[in-house]
Amino acid sequence: MKKVPLFIGGEWVQSKTDRWIDVTNPATNEVIAQAPVATQEEMLAAVESAKQAFLTWKEVAVPERARVMMRYQALLKEHHDEIAEILASETGKTFDDAKGDVWRGIEVVEHAANVPSLLMGETVENVARGIDSYSYIQPLGVCAGITPFNFPAMIPLWMFPLAIACGNTFILKPSEQDPLTPTRLVELFEQAGAPKGVVQVIHGGKDQVDFILDNPDIKAISFVGSVAVGQYIYRRGTENMKRVQAFAGAKNHCVIMPDANKSQVISNMVGASVGAAGQRCMAISVAVFVGKSKEWIPEIAEALAKVKPGVWNDKNAAYGPVISPQAKQRIENFITQGVNEGANLLVDGRNCTVDGYPNGNWVGPTMFSGVTTDMEIYKNEIFGPVLCATEVDTLEDALQLVNANPYGNGTSIFTASGAAARKYQHEVEVGQVGINIPIPVPLPFFSFTGWKGSFMGDLHAYGKQAVRFYSETKTVTARWFESDIADASGPNMTIHLK
């Protein structure tokens, strides 16, 4: 059985733990590897190594740090298919989805390669007569990242490359459900020339997260995962006086106006709701039909019913299995609950099977209409291939509904009206808005800006905000005395001041 190693002090080491977590292939539920539950000594060694490495890494010239990122970007591209295959084996994602997961991470590494410009401070000459002020952006020290199962390439790559490019060292605690992809990512980072100790990988669950939350040498923590865990991490981390950013769950609405392009609406609703088995924090899980657009509901249901899940290398598969039997059970329980609550089940994804893979965690595409905001299927993030449709009379009503929702990760509007789009973009209380784009994930030169219950903290992931998150600003106010200028009498000295 493949045992996933830890990465401490620049060495891949086998954990001395006696507790191991099974890593499974969600299409078969076969155990493909085991991840260690890192011991206290191993975690302390990881922090010590990161602390020591920080002393030298922060002094490495910024362009040289950027060059590590350039080499890393090239290596990730060279190994793109291979990483995607590893990723597909432990998440069940289709090959295209798996490649997309890696690609979105590569884009962040490209952004990190731009770190010299991102680290530029500010200057003002003559803040008082003869006095100048200028600021430097300096690294914090040891930072840590705790990542979820659903994007095992992209989300670790949101974190460690940019943190390290800023001059920090890093401890990554990936999801215990898919640790093989982050392991490969870090192997390639090492090959790109990252010095020993700059990044460490520890594995485990709650106890390892608690260690990170409590260790006084860890200065900043980036978390992505579910709401309950995010709130816990934000509270405990900030109570320990650490800088914390916590990206959490979501319930994303797509508002469909009656003047929208109907065929675009149908194909986009299908892809955005059940793509990646609905296991995306930016998935569209609620379609809000305004006025007559509700007449398209049967056609969307018909299109959804044709979509089939399958294994990673099946070219006809629209998406893969969900991550675990527990996740499948949870999603199916929600579908049953929706029926009991009185929503109309137009497409039922329960009891889904895929030929040749009887043990996979399959959930078929599912759609409800007549969903109201008091139903549990509306209130909870189902995190499966389930679309809830609800109906309102006006754009104003749609705005009220979306704004009353406690989450604020992403939303979109489909319309042919610039005025409707402008009003929606301006008034909606959600951090990432798509106009005729269903899943508006910003590219890395912007930031990933979820709002409300979907995010705790102030500085977001990637873009300029992440550079601020992983750094301190030092502002210098300086005065020099002309009387201290040595008399310039040598042959090369041309400055003479009176």
Binding site for ligand NAD (CB under 6 A): 146-151, 173, 175-176, 205-206, 209, 224-226, 229, 232, 247-250, 281, 381, 383, 409, 448, 450, 454
What CA–CA distance (Å, rounded) separates 226 from 381? Answer: 9
Contact predicate 84/105, CB 8 Å: no
Strands 243-247 vs 455-456: parallel, antiparallel or unpaired: antiparallel
Cα of 331 vs its chain's centroid, Å: 22
Residue placing its CB nearer to ligand NAD in the complex, 267 or 324: 324
What CA–CA distance (Å, rounded) separates 405 from 401? Answer: 7
What CA–CA distance (Å, rounded) separates 108 from 323? Answer: 25
Nearest C-alpha neighbor of 189 from the set 74, 336, 31: 74
Instruction: Supply the minimum distance, in Å, between the C-beta of residue 374 and ligand NAD.
Output: 22
Structure tokens at 179: 């640790």
- Residue 419 CB-half CA count within 13 A: 3
Instruction: Supply the minimum distance, in Å, between the C-beta of residue 105 and ligand NAD.
Output: 13
Helices (H) and strands (E) in the chain, counts: 16, 22
The residues, any chain, with a CB within 8 Å of residue 321's CB and separated by 6 or more, are 26, 27, 92, 277, 309, 328, 354, 357, 360, 361, 362, 363
Instruction: Supply the minimum distance, in Å, between the C-beta of residue 202 and ligand NAD.
Output: 11
Residue placing its CB nearer to ligand NAD in the complex, 49 or 279: 279
Q: Which amino acid is at 463?
A: G
Instruction: Supply the minimum distance, in Å, between the C-beta of residue 167 and ligand NAD.
Output: 25
Contact predicate 67/55, CB 8 Å: no
What CA–CA distance (Å, rounded) separates 288 from 428? Answer: 14
Residue placing its CB nearer to ligand NAD in the complex, 247 or 334: 247
Residue placing its CB nearer to ligand NAD in the complex, 293 or 411: 411
- Torsion sign across C-alpha atoms 228, 430, 110, 244: negative
Residue facing ligand NAD at closest CB distance = 225
What CA–CA distance (Å, rounded) separates 28 from 357? Answer: 6
Residue placing its CB nearer to ligand NAD in the complex, 91 or 293: 91
Instruction: Supply the minimum distance, in Å, between the C-beta of residue 443 and ligand NAD.
Output: 15
Active site residue 166: no
CA distances from 208 to 26, 234, 241, 258 (A): 24, 15, 18, 50
Continuous H helices in 260-416: 262-274, 297-305, 325-341, 376-379, 395-404
Instruction: Supply the minimum distance, in Å, between the C-beta of residue 382 and ligand NAD.
Output: 10
Instruction: Supply the minimum distance, in Å, between the C-beta of residue 462 and ligand NAD.
Output: 11
Cα of 498 vs its chain's centroid, Å: 59
Task: Say which of 143, 166, 254, 281 is annotated catalytic.
Answer: 281
Residue placing its CB nearer to ligand NAD in the complex, 21 or 60: 21
Instruction: Supply the minimum distance, in Å, between the C-beta of residue 15 and ligand NAD.
Output: 16
Phi, psi of 222 (to 5 degrees): -110, 125
Residue placing its CB nearer to ligand NAD in the complex, 167 or 384: 384
- Which residues is 471 bridged to in the sheet? 139
Residue placing its CB nearer to ligand NAD in the complex, 88 or 201: 201
Structure tokens at 487: 């008399």
Known catalytic residues are 281
